[in-house]
């Protein structure tokens, strides 16, 4: 990205240095879109998934009040615009969710009349569950033909698993670069060709009139490179993350049982993110104790300024309220080593034993 931060040209300028910037921007667009099974003109650069999710949902909902098919498991960047649509008159029909946090297309019955909007994440930011979004879209296309739109928040999935926008069948898809080792401050929104969608910011008409503001060539180039690397190394990273997960969980099981992994079984979700319940241990205290030992974890979404919200929809996975207060969110990266994860597991187990009053 460095040369582009030093290159002041606006990619919309008509002169040589402007055109050079535009070439770099369009190259980044083509490469990123191609990795995600989309056409270049379907990709809109945004400031991140929060903007993408809001733009997708506010732009997607047809005039009138569609029924929103959406679960409580969505990230606040999705549930907040959902609340805005509800305030404008939309109703919500909850998506059926298994006790492991996976959507169940077969149980989606008794669809209401009128326009529908499916809103479903592609992978969950806590459990790592990979969702049957294509099956949900297909199920709705059969039962409510011609009256269903669909958005997927693919923030956790892009760069971790192969994502094909057209095969998913959704109208819009959101992602953030910093979730796949790209720079913070840029994301993308995919909008299906030919599907009606109303942009939320127009400004100077950039991004084919779909998102105003001078695009950051440096960030777009950085995002495209990060996505390329993620795809070139995907299977290697996935296998390594599975090794890391096993090494980590083995230490926990050996040294601080009982514990409960919440979410789908190994191999049915993203390997790098975990929800773990440590019975009898308050998660807030545990997270502080882990931090003192140099292990960074959290109890919920690390989004709200200065506060920790509980993970949205956790009640669907952990019905007992006292148990929910024992759930810690853990994640790691492919750039870490098995030895590091083993060490993290040891430290966490030590803190958990201490908080339980067990001998060290």
Please state, as a whole number, how many other Cβ atoms lie within 10 Å of the Cβ of residue 304. Answer: 10
Of the candidate spans 49-57, 110-118, 250-258, 265-273, the one that interacts with a second copy by CB under 8 A turns out to be 49-57
User: Interface with a second copy includes 32 (CB under 8 A)?
Assistant: no
Nearer to a second copy, 46 or 156 (CB): 46
Q: How far is the CB of 328 from a second copy (least distance, A)?
A: 12
* Site size toward a second copy, by CB under 8 A: 70
User: Interface with a second copy includes 229 (CB under 8 A)?
Assistant: no
Nearer to a second copy, 21 or 170 (CB): 21
313-318: Cβ within 8 A, 24+ apart: 313/71, 313/72, 313/73, 313/74, 313/97, 313/101, 314/126, 315/72, 316/71, 316/72, 316/73, 316/97, 316/99, 316/101, 317/99, 317/100, 317/101, 317/127, 317/262, 317/263, 317/275, 318/262, 318/277
Judged by CB under 8 A, the residue of 162, 178, 353, 354 near a second copy is: 178
User: Interface with a second copy includes 291 (CB under 8 A)?
Assistant: yes
Judged by CB under 8 A, the residue of 145, 258, 294, 359 near a second copy is: 294
Q: Give the DSSP letter of residue 149.
A: E
Q: What are phi and psi of 161, to 5 degrees?
A: -130, 160
Residues 52-111 within binding reach of a second copy (CB under 8 A): 53-54, 75-77, 80
Instruction: Provide the annotated active-site residues.
Output: 303
How many CA atoms lie less than 13 Å away from 325 in the CB half-sphere?
Answer: 7
Residues that bind a second copy (CB under 8 A): 1-2, 5, 8-10, 12-18, 22, 46-51, 53-54, 75-77, 80, 176, 178, 181, 183-186, 201-209, 212-219, 222, 287-288, 290-291, 294, 296-299, 301-309, 333
């Amino acid at each position: 990205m460095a040369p582009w931060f030093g290159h002041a040209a606006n990619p919309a300028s008509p002169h040589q240095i402007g055109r050079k910037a535009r070439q770099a921007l369009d190259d980044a667009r083509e490469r990123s879109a191609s990795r995600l099974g989309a056409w270049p003109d379907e990709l809109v650069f945004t400031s991140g998934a929060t903007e993408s999710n809001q733009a997708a949902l506010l732009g997607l909902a047809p005039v009138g009040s569609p029924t929103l098919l959406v679960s409580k498991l969505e990230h606040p960047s999705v549930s907040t615009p959902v609340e805005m649509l509800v305030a404008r008159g939309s109703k919500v029909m909850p998506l059926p969710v298994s006790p492991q946090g996976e959507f169940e297309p077969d149980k989606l019955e008794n669809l209401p009349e009128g326009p529908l909007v499916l809103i479903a994440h592609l992978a969950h930011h806590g459990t790592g569950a990979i969702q049957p979004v294509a099956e949900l879209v297909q199920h709705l296309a059969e039962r409510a033909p011609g009256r269903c739109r669909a958005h997927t928040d693919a923030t956790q999935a892009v760069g971790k698993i192969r994502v094909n926008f057209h095969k998913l069948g959704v109208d819009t898809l959101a992602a953030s670069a910093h979730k796949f080792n790209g720079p913070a401050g840029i994301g993308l929104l995919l909008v299906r060709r030919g599907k009606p969608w109303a942009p939320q910011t127009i400004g100077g008409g950039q991004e084919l009139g779909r998102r105003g503001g001078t695009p950051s060539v440096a960030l777009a180039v950085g995002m495209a490179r990060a996505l390329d690397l993620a795809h070139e190394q995907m299977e290697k990273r996935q296998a390594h993350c599975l090794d890391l997960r096993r090494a980590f969980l083995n230490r926990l099981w050996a040294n601080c049982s009982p514990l409960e992994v919440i979410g789908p079984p190994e191999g049915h979700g993203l390997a790098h993110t975990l929800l773990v319940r440590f019975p009898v241990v308050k998660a807030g205290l545990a997270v502080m104790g882990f931090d003192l030992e140099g292990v960074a974890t959290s109890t919920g979404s690390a989004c709200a300024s200065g506060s920790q919200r509980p993970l949205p929809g956790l009640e669907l996975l952990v019905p007992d309220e006292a148990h929910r207060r024992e759930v810690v969110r853990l994640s790691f990266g492919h750039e870490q080593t098995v030895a590091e994860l083993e060490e993290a597991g040891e430290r966490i187990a030590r803190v958990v034993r201490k908080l339980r009053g067990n001998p060290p």
